[in-house]
């Protein structure tokens, strides 16, 4: 989970610091939705359905992004690839978070 968070920060820095990158309105909306989603997962009143819903949402974004990308978009310097990489790291973070919460919940029940 920590490694995923570090990779997310690194990828965001990569996206933000490149002067040639411009973020579209739809990307900004997705990023806002993802930020809100991650904030909600840290609330005390979260549940596994919320985590699974967030995981499904990120999986959907990955699928849509992957299908819309052309061959040239899959290079390391491409903005589309950086954004897709960010989505994969978010997916990994959510999976790790779910695993930790699940394991902790099971330990408390025993």
Mapped onto helix, strand or coil, the DSSP state of residue 47 is coil
**21 CB contacts (<8 Å, ≥6 apart)?**
15, 79, 82
Predicted pLDDT of residue 58: 94
Q: Domain containing 19: what range?
A: 1-108
Predicted pLDDT of residue 39: 87
Domain count, the chain: 1
Does residue 107 carry a pLDDT above 70?
Answer: no
What global pTM score does this model have?
0.85
Q: Within a 10 A sphere around the Cβ of 81, how many other Cβ atoms?
A: 16
Torsion of CA 13, 14, 16, 19, to 10 degrees: 140
């Amino acid at each position: 989970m920590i490694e995923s968070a570090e990779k997310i920060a690194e990828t965001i820095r990569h996206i933000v610091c490149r002067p040639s990158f411009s973020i579209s309105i739809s990307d900004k909306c997705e990023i806002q939705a993802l930020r809100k989603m991650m904030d909600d997962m840290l609330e005390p009143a979260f549940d596994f359905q919320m985590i699974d819903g967030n995981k499904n949402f990120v999986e959907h974004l990955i699928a849509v992004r992957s299908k819309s990308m052309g061959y040239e978009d899959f290079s390391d310097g491409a903005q589309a690839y950086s954004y897709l990489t960010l989505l994969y790291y978010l997916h990994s973070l959510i999976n790790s978070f779910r695993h930790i919460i699940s394991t902790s919940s099971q330990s408390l029940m025993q």
